[in-house]
Amino acid sequence: MTAFGREEDRSVTTGPIAAAKRVRRRGLFDTEPMVRVLLIEDDPAVAEGLAIGLRRQGHATDVRHTGEDGLAGVAAFDPDLIVLDLMLPGIDGFEVCRRIRRAGNLPVIMLTARNEDMDVVLGLEAGADDYVVKPVQARVLEARIRAVLRRTESAAPAGRREVHGELTLDRTALTVLKAGRPIALAPSELRLLLALSASPGQVFSRGQLLESVWEHPYLGDSRLVDACVKRLRIKIEEPDRPARYIQTVRGFGYRFGPL
């Protein structure tokens, strides 16, 4: 790593950069594109360790230590992705996540010190796309970041629009319309919808979806899938009616349709 790279990364860490100035850069050691990561973590040592690790992967980082500060950082730093600790002084991670979701569809990876079931469930319901459990190696976090971001980078042929009932999917522009109105979907929700709708009527097990959408192990935490399906249904299904698009196949998993 060059002295220049270090200097610039440090400046990113210490002072927010205006969104307008943002330019895509590449990591110094690998060929993956650089990612702007906003790290919201109250423990200074953990924050610094993660920031060092992320910078080593060639990412620009901004570290915030409280929920309020973190929300301010979303506007000021204009991140590509947020790594969010759940236990924060002031506004906690769940609330931060909900506010980020209300404002837009920034990918959120939650960081939990305790792999406690309620934390994970609540975090996923608040709209987090994925989670990692501390202590986490920078390499593992990097893999999760890549996986979450890959969801939004589809390589479908341009201009192809699919219509399923009231839903219109554009796999290139990555837009979803319901009855002509655009629906805001978080990256994991969009990726799940695209994965299921790619083969309407085919049943996908939770393990398969974990692998294809989250790049988790097949025998991973199926709550990721269930929570994401729940969030997706709220957005695309009619309330108080049986699910039409994302259907549960008891004992096997989920399928798209048949409509």
Partner 1 sequence: MTGPLARLRGLRVRLASACLLVAAFAALATAALTYREARTAMLQRAQDSVVRSVRDRVEAVAPSVPFPPDQAALERIVALVDTRGNTDHWIVAAGYRDLWATTDRVLTPDAIPTALRTTADEVTAFQRVEREGVIWLAVGVPVTFAKPLNGVLSGVQVYVLTPMRAQMQEEAALVRAARKGAIPAVLLALVLALVVAGGVLRPVRALQRATRRLAQGRLDTRLQVKGGDELADLARDFNHTAAALEQHEARLRTMEARARGFAADVSHELRTPLAAMAAVINVLDEDAAAEHLDPDTAAALRLVSAETGKLTRLVDDLMEISRFDAGAAALHVDELDVAEAVRRCLAARSWSGAVTTHLPEGIRAEVDPRRFDVVVANLVGNALRHGAPPVEVGLGTERRADGVWIVLRVADRGPGLAADTLHRVFERFYKADSARARSVGSGLGMAITLENVRLHDGHIRAANRSDGGAVFTVELPRYARIEVTEDA
**Distance set, CA 15 to CA 7, 11, 58, 241 (Å):** 12, 6, 17, 49
Q: Which of 145, 110, 144 is CA-nearest to residue 124?
A: 110
From the number of C-beta atoms within 10 Å of its C-beta (0-12, 13-18, 19+), residue 184 rates as middle
User: Which sign, positive or negative, has the C-alpha torsion 111, 113, 116, 119?
Assistant: negative
**Residue 234 touching partner 1 (CB under 8 A):** no
Backbone angles phi, psi at 64, to 5 degrees: -125, 145
The one-letter code for the residue type at 184 is A
Minimum CB separation from partner 1 for residue 39, in Å?
10
The binding track of 142-181 with respect to partner 1, each residue x by CB under 8 A or -, is ----------------------------------------
Closer residue to partner 1 in complex, CB, 177/220? 220
Cβ-based nearer residue to partner 1, 22 or 146? 146
Range in contact with partner 1 (rule: CB under 8 A) among 17-25, 157-165, 178-186, 200-208: 200-208
Restricting to residues 16-75, name those near partner 1 by CB under 8 A.
43, 45-46, 48-50, 52-53, 56
Residue 215 sits in the site that holds partner 1 (CB under 8 A): no
Sign of the C-alpha dihedral computed for residues 171, 177, 182 and 185 taken in this order? negative
H helix count then E strand count, the chain: 9, 12
Site for partner 1, residues 76 to 135, rule: CB under 8 A: 113-117, 133-135
- Contacting positions for partner 1 (CB under 8 A): 43, 45-46, 48-50, 52-53, 56, 113-117, 133-139, 141, 205-207, 217-223, 226, 229-230, 242-243, 247-248, 250-252
